[in-house]
Structure formats: C-alpha cells, structure tokens
Structure 1
Amino acid sequence: MLQRVCSKAGLDLVSRALQLYYLARSPDIPAWAKASIFAALGYLVVTPDAVPDITPVLGFVDDLAVLTSALAGLSGYVSPEIRAKVMVKLQDWFGEDAEIPPQNLPESRTLNET
C-alpha cells in the first residue's frame, strides 16, 4: 500500500512539474508568470529543502506544495494542449496504465470514464 501511495504521489509531483515546464515554454505566458514557474521548478531541483527529499514519504511534500501553489495561480493558463502534452509524457514515462492525475485529464473526460 505504501508503495502505491508513493507511486501516486510521485506521478502527481511529476505531473505538476511537467505542467509548469510546458507553461514556461508557452509564448502566451507573461514574464511574471514565467518567473513564478522558474522559482517553483528551481525549488524542486535545489538540494536544500524545507523537508529533505531523503525523508521517506514526507520528503517531497514541500516540493508538491510549492508546485501546487504555483499552478493554483496559473491554472487559467493551462490549456487543453498543455494537458495533452503532459498526459502523453506521463504515459511515456510511467506506462499506458498509469493513473493519470485528474488535473491532466481532458476536460470532457472524468475519472470514471477510463
């Protein structure tokens, strides 16, 4: 069970990071938003965290919180095209049967329609 929870959390973390990455590459994103994106992605890759990443389970909670906060302010910029790119990349990296986080599902699809 713990492995499944960690796997889901990892998938969600990667999903949010990919959304921010594709947002940063979009020409429609204003400079202030890109600064927020780069700050959040920078926090993800910088070694000293509020909670060390080597701490089991809790190590990535702070990273997930930072990415979630950045996305909350930029959610209006996440287009269906960006969601589709993220979904393709997640399936490529995690497999076709990966449980895609709901924020990456196309808007017409629900979790019950897999």
Structure 2
Amino acid sequence: MVSSRNSNKEVFEAEVLESSVIDEGVLKKILLRAGRVIAQPALEGFELIMDNTTPPQVRLSIMGALTYLIVPFDLIPDFIPASGFSDDLVALTAVISLWQHHITPEIKFRAKSKLDKWFPL
C-alpha cells in the first residue's frame, strides 16, 4: 500500500510540473519592471525549472517562488514604488538558497546570458 501512495505522489508531482508552466514572456515583463537585482535569482530559478535533471520537489518550490513574483498582489503589492518587489526578492533568494547545490555552472551561465540580454550594462 505504501508503494501505491509513493506512485500516486510521483504521478501528482508530474502532473503539477506539466500543468504549471512559467511563461518566459510573462516573467520577462515582470522582471523588466522589477529590475536586475530581482531578475538574477528569478532567472536562475527559471533555468533550474527548465533543466531536466532538477528533482520535482525543487521545481515545485521554485515555481511557487516565481508564481509569488508574478502575482501582483502579495504581502507588499508590486505596484508600490521602491518596496513593492522587496518581499518577492526575499522569497526568491530564500528558495534559491535552499536549492543552491542544484544550480550547475551551465544553469548559472544560461541565467546570466538572459540577464545580460534583458539588462544590458
């Protein structure tokens, strides 16, 4: 019976991952408004989700943090100047720090490439 529970859990996680896609276009629009400081951990998280080697529990928690970023009404609404994205940054960096050991040099490179393309110096 325990094995069927584990099997159901894996199916559920796979369904959640397949149905909960973070749209890169929406993410880009939000990040261009939020700024480079928030974009860096968000893009690392996005690239971590997109990497096939990332475990399901890591993907789910990163998706939660990115969803929190995308939803405009949260603890501090995003439309409030100067502080609107501060809670989003805290959520993103907290989740990213939990899973830092899953972020490979390739993931960092892909995230940095997008960051530099979206926010040229």
TM-score, reference length from structure 1: 0.73
Higher helix share: 2
Q: CA deviation at 1:28?
A: 1.2
Which of structure 1's runs of 4+ aligned residues deviate more than 2 A? none
> Where do 5+ consecutive residues of structure 1 fail to align?
1-6, 98-114
% identical equivalent positions? 35
1:49 matched to 2:71? The reply is no
Of 68, 72, 81, which aligns to 2:93?
68
The residue type paired with residue 41 of structure 2 is R
Map residues 1-114 of structure 1 onto 2, 5 A cutoff: 10-95=35-120, 97=121
When the two chains are superposed, the root-mean-square deviation of aligned CA atoms in Å is: 1.5
Q: CA deviation at 1:12?
A: 1.6
CA distance in 1, matches of 2:63, 2:93: 13
CA distance in 1, matches of 2:71, 2:78: 10
Q: CA deviation at 1:83?
A: 1.0
Please give the per-residue CA displacement for 1:40-86, whole angstroms capped at 9, x wherever unaligned: 01111112210011111111000001101110101001111111111
The residue type paired with residue 71 of structure 1 is I
Bigger Rg, structure 1 or 2: 2
Q: Report how many aligned residue pairs link the two structures.
A: 89
CA distance in 2, matches of 1:91, 1:32: 29
